[in-house]
Amino acid sequence: MKLLPLSVVLVASCMAGGQDAATTDTAKSAPSAIHMISISKPNLEVTGSRLGRVEIWIEPTGTGVGASLAGEAKRTTTAGRHEKWIFPIASLPGYPHSIMAVNASAKGYNREGKEVGRKSLGFKGVSECNSALYGRLPSD
């Protein structure tokens, strides 16, 4: 009869250990995500988790004109849950002249190349975009 309680304790202990291992494995394989894009002069700064690539896109003015790729950001931290990626504002098309764009955004990809999300700076027009990026309004 004394063996039964010991058996129950051993089984419970093994089950708990298995759950801890599963929890740890899940935490390590958390999904890739793009969290935010912001201006941190002289760069655009993107934060995310477990990203394989981050692209910077601009939305030109004009009806029916699609977004265009400005380039790829570079990771400045170690890979993992708290990554920082930067893209120099000077690398935007036409720099140092004002750009005729209404917004800029970042598109994040996981390590397998699948898109995991997009984040936008959220500008409202060319003047706001240029003022935020360059500190000036567009000139003629």
- Looking at the structure, do residues 57 and 103 belong to the same domain, yes or no? yes
Q: Residues 41-73: pLDDT tens digits?
A: 999 999 999 999 999 999 988 767 788 999 999
Task: Show the tokens assigned to 90.
Answer: 């000077």
Amino acid symbol at 45: E
pLDDT at 24: 39
CA atoms of 67 and 101, how far apart (whole Å): 9
The better pLDDT of the pair 93, 78 is held by 78
Q: Residues 100-128: pLDDT tens digits?
A: 888 999 999 999 999 999 999 998 888 88
pLDDT at 114: 97
Task: Show the tokens assigned to 98.
Answer: 């004002």
pLDDT at 25: 41
CA atoms of 72 and 87, how far apart (whole Å): 7
Residues in the chain: 140
User: Count of domains in the chain?
Assistant: 2
CA dihedral 18, 23, 28, 34 (to 10 degrees): 160
- Looking at the structure, do residues 50 and 111 belong to the same domain, yes or no? yes
- Looking at the structure, do residues 24 and 84 belong to the same domain, yes or no? no
- In the predicted structure, residue 2 carries a pLDDT above the cut 70: no
Domain for residue 140, yes or no?
A: no
- In the predicted structure, residue 95 carries a pLDDT above the cut 90: no
Task: Show the tokens assigned to 28.
Answer: 């390590």
pLDDT at 130: 85
- Looking at the structure, do residues 17 and 35 belong to the same domain, yes or no? no
Cβ-contact 87, 71 below 8 angstroms? yes
Terminal C-alpha separation, the chain: 93
Domain for residue 139, yes or no?
A: no
CA dihedral 123, 127, 128, 130 (to 10 degrees): 90
Domain of residue 56, residue span: 31-134
| Beta bridge mates, 51 | none
- Looking at the structure, do residues 25 and 35 belong to the same domain, yes or no? no
- In the predicted structure, residue 136 carries a pLDDT above the cut 60: yes
As a whole number, mean pLDDT of residues 2-29 equals: 46
- Looking at the structure, do residues 90 and 47 belong to the same domain, yes or no? yes
